[in-house]
Each structure stands twice: as C-alpha cells, then as structure tokens.
Amino acid sequence: MFQAAAWLISQFYNLTSDYVSAIALVAVVIMMLIFPLTLKSTKSMLEMQRVQPEMKRLQNQYRNDRQKLNEEMMKLYQEHKVNPLASCLPMVAQMPIFLIMFRVLRHLTLLGSDGTFNPGYISKTSKLYMSLDKSKEMLSVGLDLSLTPIKAIQASPGKGVVYALLVIVLMGLYFVQQRMIASRTVSPTMSASQQKIMQYLPVFFGLFQLFFPVALVVYYISQTIVRIAQQQYITRRFYRGEHSLGQQAQAASAKAREIAKQDGSGGGGIFGQMKQDLAKAKEQPKNVSKPSPTVSKRVTPPKGGATPAKGKPTPPNRPKPSGQSRHPKPPRG
C-alpha cells in the first residue's frame, strides 16, 4: 500500500514536474474515490436522525430493560431499513489512507545523516526519485516542502511567515468545513461540552501541523478544499426542498431534542446514559436493612468447653451416677 501511494505521487510528478501539484492531485483522487462512501454514510446518518423520536420513545419505555430495548431497536432499524454502522464507512476507509499518506510523505521529505534525501517507497528509476536523491531541499512554489513550519520560522522569521500562513489557511478551511456540517446536523445526543470540543478541534489539529513537513500541510489543504466542495454538493442533494431527506431529519432531530428535555436526560450519548444510571442509583433507598449475622447451627459444643457467643446453650442431659447421690440427705434424728 505504501508503494502504491508513492507510485501515484510519482506518476503525477511525471505529468507536472512539480511537487505541490503532484501532492494536490493525489489528494483529489483519494477524496473522489472515497466520495461514494461519504454519500452512502450521509444518507444513512439522515435516516438515523429521522427515526430518532421513535428511538427516544423506546429508550424511555424500556429504560430498565436493556435486552428488550435492543430487540425493539433492531426491529426499528429493520422496519425503516436503517444501518447504524453505515455512517462509519468513510471514517473506517479514511483512517488507513491517512496513515499511509502520512508515512509516504514523511519518507519522501526525511533527510539522511548526510543532510540529503533518500526517498523511500518509490522506484529508483522514477523521475521523482532522481529529482530528490542526494538533494537537500524539496523546492516547489518557492517553498521547501521538507521543512516544518516551526523550523522555518526559527531559521528565518520573515520567510517563516509564509509557512505559518499555510497552517492558518488549513485551520480556516477546517472551520469552514465544520460549520457547514454542524449547521445542518445537530445531534440530539451531543451535549454542549461535546459541541465545544468539536469547535476547537481544528485549532488543535492545525497547531500539530507546525511540527510536520509542509508537504503534509499541502496535502491536507488540498484534501479539505475537495471535502468542502463535496459538502456543498451533499447540501444541495439532501437538503433542498421542504420534503427532502435532510429537512425531515432536521425536524426529527428537533423533536428528539424536545423529548430529551422533557425526559430530563438532556442527551449526551454515552455520557448522558451514564448520568441517567447514576441518577437511578441515587434514587434507590439508602436505609437498606443489613443482613442478620449468620448464627451457627452447631449442635455439639466446641472443644475446650467454650460455649457459643450468642445465648446460653441448653446443657446436655447427663446420666446420674449409680450408687450414692452427690448430695446425701441429712440423717434422721
């Protein structure tokens, strides 16, 4: 897989003879290949949102019976032909691609002990390899793609501003993409704290890019631009018209949020369910009768003549000795 990704970059470099163009074209191709999965997952997510009021009703009805709740939820999914796992397809597909491209681009931009490139995963006869082999810079559009923004700023603050601007552009694109998604898909199970975390994720991700080669920043910028265009297409396809699937899903989500407020759960997904379980535990009566101590049922007395601690045992009947009584009667006068 690493060789295949490097080969794709090499082929685009053969066409353009430019590193930035080759990396950007690879990002476009990958996003276009994943787009059918994105469409499928978006449709599945909207169908899930459309049945959320019914899901909330079932959760309230069977809140004390998890097994029955799972059975009813499965019936609901089958009735509406909803696959709850389909919305995870793009994430499952993109994670290995993300790791592969990260490693390939890192190996293309790593400098050896002699301060020159020794590209990995690509053929030594390729044009890309020969352009990088024994070179000290990966120059394109006036930038050294092997430099990290933080090193570029430290080496030359004036020139490093351009590298920092690329990171700022990436964070801005992430914000645009996230707002596009959040404006139409507000989950009734997402708490306010979770929404704030999602808002600041682009900042954290952008700050991480200060410590990675600019080649990766170029790849992520290209990828995010394509993703924004895809989100615009999704908005037109699923949210246009009052009776569209997206509009129905938004109305159902609003209804589910009202049900959650009336129920007092307030959403929150797994964390909300944990809060409900804790609340139920607190509602249980505190004055629970303590179990009575176990009383020994031993019949024979223990060795050493010790008697049980609880109560006085009835002495066993001993046979009277034959002959004279222990207490003789006084003599008669």
What pLDDT, in 10s, does the model give residues 109-128? 888 888 888 888 888 889 99
* 328 assigned to some structural domain: no
* 304 assigned to some structural domain: no
Domain count, the chain: 1
Name the β-bridge partners of 140.
Answer: 143
Domain interval for residue 147: 2-281
Q: Give every CB contact of residue 169 below 8 A, 6+ residues apart in sequence.
A: 221
User: Can you give the pLDDT at residue 236?
Assistant: 86
Please give the structure tokens belonging to residue 190.
Answer: 């997402």
CB neighbour burial string for 2-16, b if at least 16 within 10 angstroms, e if fewer:
eeebbebbbbbbeee
Q: Which of 20, 41, 19 is nearest to 87 (CA)?
A: 41
What pLDDT, in 10s, does the model give residues 195-208? 677 777 878 888 88
Phi, psi of 315 (to 5 degrees): -65, 145
* 290 assigned to some structural domain: no
Q: Tell me the average pLDDT across 300-320.
A: 53
What pLDDT, in 10s, does the model give residues 250-288? 777 777 777 766 665 544 444 444 455 555 555 555 444
User: Can you give the pLDDT at residue 270?
Assistant: 41
* 288 assigned to some structural domain: no
User: Can you give the pLDDT at residue 47?
Assistant: 83
What pLDDT, in 10s, does the model give residues 200-250? 787 888 888 999 999 999 999 999 999 999 999 988 888 877 777 777 777
Q: Tell me the average pLDDT across 131-138.
A: 88
Q: Give every CB contact of residue 196 below 8 A, 6+ residues apart in sequence.
A: none
Q: Which residue has the higher pLDDT, 293 or 87?
A: 87
User: Can you give the pLDDT at residue 204?
Assistant: 85
* 126 assigned to some structural domain: yes
* 9 assigned to some structural domain: yes
Instruction: For the full predicted model, state whether its pTM sits above 0.85.
Output: no
What pLDDT, in 10s, does the model give residues 146-171? 999 999 999 888 888 999 999 999 99
Q: Which residue has the higher pLDDT, 256 or 318?
A: 256
User: Can you give the pLDDT at residue 267?
Assistant: 47
User: Can you give the pLDDT at residue 20?
Assistant: 95
At residue 30, does pLDDT exceed 90?
Answer: yes
* 312 assigned to some structural domain: no
Question: Helices marked H in 183-213 — which ranges?
Answer: 192-208
User: Can you give the pLDDT at residue 220?
Assistant: 95
Using N-to-C axis directions, what is the helix angle for 52-61 and 66-80, rounded to 10°?
160
Q: How far is 174 from 180, CA to CA, in rounded Å?
A: 10
At residue 303, does pLDDT exceed 90?
Answer: no
* 332 assigned to some structural domain: no
What pLDDT, in 10s, does the model give residues 41-72? 888 888 888 888 888 888 888 888 888 888 88
